[in-house]
């Protein structure tokens, strides 16, 4: 394993980075779900729920936030 990859892995598993990424994913994920899947909040019995889309909507901001944190902290 390269030294740079080890550094990135260490930074990506840092508790502060993970907690921040989870907070960002929670807030942004809810907003994106409200925008992209308004039928989820209508409480209609005929609503099609796509769990994979919902999870991906939370996963993308988590990944972006964690990646940004790793890049920012690697330059310190």
Q: Summarize pLDDT for 43-70 with one digit per residue, the tens.
A: 777 767 788 888 999 999 999 999 999 9
pLDDT of residue 29: 94
Report the C-alpha gap between 52 and 63 in whole angstroms. 16
The most confident of 1-15, 22-36, 38-52, by mean pLDDT: 22-36
* Triad 44, 50, 56: Cα angle to 5°: 130
| Among 74, 76, 36, residue whose Cα is nearest residue 56 | 36
- 55 is in which domain, residue-wise? 3-74
* Kind plus residue range of the DSSP H or E element containing 76: none
**Number of domains present in the structure of the chain:** 1
Against a cut of 0.95, is the pTM above it?
Answer: no
pLDDT of residue 47: 67
- Span 27-55, average pLDDT: 83
């Amino acid at each position: 394993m390269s030294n740079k990859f080890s550094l990135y892995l260490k930074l990506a598993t840092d508790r502060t980075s993970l907690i921040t990424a989870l907070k960002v994913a929670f807030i942004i994920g809810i907003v994106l779900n409200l925008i992209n899947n308004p039928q989820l909040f209508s409480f209609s019995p005929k609503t099609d729920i796509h769990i994979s889309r919902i999870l991906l909507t939370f996963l993308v901001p988590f990944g972006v936030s964690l990646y940004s944190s790793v890049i920012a902290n690697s330059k310190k």
